[in-house]
Structures are given as C-alpha cells and as structure tokens.
Amino acid sequence: MNEETNIIAGRNPVFEAIKARTEISSIMVAKGSTEGTIKAIISTARKKKIPVKEVSPVKLDGLVPQGNHQGVVAIISPIKYQSLNDIFKIAEEKGEDPLIVILDGIEDVHNLGAIARTAEACGAHGIVIPMHRAASVTTTSVKASAGALMHIPVCRVTNITVAMDEMKKKGLWIAGADMEGAQPYYKSNLKGPFAIVIGGEGQGIRRLVLEKCDFTVNIPMKGRMSSLNASNAAAVILFEVLRQRENQ
C-alpha cells in the first residue's frame, strides 16, 4: 500500500501543480525520462527550487499502483513551509529568545518526525532543513512526529550556511552536536537566542556547516556505542536547553 497518499501523478497534472504554486516536497522522475514534457517539468521545478529526484520506474509503480504515472510523480507537502523570518516572528510574539533546530542532511523521514516531536515539546520555534539531499515533510514524517509537524514551523533552505549567517545577524549562537565536540552539552551555556545543528545519520554535520558553528558540544558515551541516533541526540540536547531556560 502507498504510504504517501498526497501525490500527483502524470506529466500534465504535475506540470500544472508546479505552475499553480502547489506546496510540493519533491518531484520524482523515472531514470532516463528527460525528454519533452519531463524536461520542461525538471527545468521549471528547479527554477522554483523544488527538489527533483531520479528514481527507478519500479519506485514510481509502487507509488502509483495503477501505473499511469507517465514517468513522473509529485509528492505534495502536508504542510506549508515557512521562512526564517516567520520563525523569528513567532519567537518575538511569544516574548521568547528564538530556539531553532537545524537539521544538516537528515535523510530518514522517521528521524525528521521524531526530532520534530521533541523540538515542539521543548518549545522550539522552528526547524530548518536543506532543500536537497535531505528528508522533506511527508505524511510519513508527520505520522512519526505524532502530529508535531502540523504545529512547529519548518523552513526549507537552499543553503544551510547562508541560513546560519541570517540567524547570527539576529543574535543567535549556534552549536553543533558532534562526537568530537569541545565540551559536554550539559557544561555548555545553551541559554539565550540559540540554534542547535544535528547532523545526518551517516556523515554527521558537514565540514562547512560545522565550521560555521560558534561552538560544538558532545554527548559523553560510557558504553560500547560511540554515538546516538540523530533523533535521540537531538532529544538529549533539546531537553538540556529547556532545563537551562527554565532555570534562568
């Protein structure tokens, strides 16, 4: 059964959805299908900063069992993505220092959902995710978040480091969660306007993003495991942020 129920299949329907500014998480095209209308879809989607992924025809057949996808499927986002300014505005309206979670390359939609659930529970004002090579908000991630993704703003950006520069201009301090972090998370000052960067499941935080962080924190590990799952690491640090804020 197709778990992504919010889809549009077929060349003309997908093209019209793009032109109508439908909130699209990503577009999947069958490998080798780059001629005619498909070529125009890819070009228009990229101009509108919509991620385009080449997948096997079998993948599309799984999404559209009746098989009339014509080599292209659009995954419609169940939420409306917000801007960084929207997130700052929410924090300002609440009279709170901004708290933002930056996800650098989280690819598993279940991890995205789990992190969103924790972020919302800890009072974060928004989540920032990259446009490409990362999980986007889908019906599956919304389910994994227990509905939290319907409540916490998500901002999708083309360049994480540029977004970090914007945050710094707003006075945020940015920490990177890294196994080789400079000090344990609980010994770090996580108060005030703050953002935490959580790296992808495999490579962690990318070098350029890590270099943009103001400081790094680690989670001490005493057992045989050297690291935590990304969503678990996010939970540990976010609840420490909440603890420090509550004890100010």
CATH code, domain carrying 179: 3.40.1280.10
Same domain, 167 and 143: yes
**pLDDT tier, 5 (very low <50, low <70, confident <90, very high otherwise):** low
Same domain, 126 and 49: no
Q: Which long-range contacts (CB under 8 A, 24 or more apart) does 55-58 make?
A: 55/28, 55/29, 55/30, 55/31, 56/30, 56/31, 57/30, 57/31
DSSP 213: S
Of 41-55, 150-164, 182-196, the poorest mean pLDDT is in 41-55
Number of domains in the chain: 2
pLDDT of 109 over the 80 cut: yes
Q: Which amino acid is at 145?
A: S
Helix boundaries (H) for 64-150: 84-94, 109-121, 139-144
Same domain, 97 and 52: no
Strand partners, 135: none
CB 44 within 8 A of CB 12: no
Q: How many CA atoms lie within 13 Å of 41's alpha carbon, on the beta-carbon side?
A: 30
Which pair of tokens denotes residue 21? 């500014």
Whether residue 2 is contained in a domain is answered as no
pTM: 0.86
Phi, psi of 100 (to 5 degrees): -125, 140
Same domain, 116 and 177: yes
Q: What percent of the chain has pLDDT over 70?
A: 98
Range of the domain at 230: 84-246
DSSP 70: T
**81 vs 79: CA distance, rounded Å:** 6
Which pair of tokens denotes residue 19? 């032109």
The candidate with the shortest Cα–Cα distance to 115, out of 200, 53, 176, 178, is: 200
Determine what percent of the chain falls in helix, strand and coil, rounding each to the nearest 5.
Answer: 40, 20, 40
Whether residue 220 is contained in a domain is answered as yes
Same domain, 234 and 217: yes
Tokens 């789990």 belong to which residue?
114
Which pair of tokens denotes residue 71? 């080599």
CB 131 within 8 A of CB 157: yes
pLDDT winner (highest mean) among 3-12, 60-69, 208-217:
208-217
CB 171 within 8 A of CB 206: no
Per-residue confidence (pLDDT) for residue 139, from 0 to 100:
87
pLDDT of 237 over the 70 cut: yes
Whether residue 187 is contained in a domain is answered as yes
Max CA distance (Å), the chain: 61
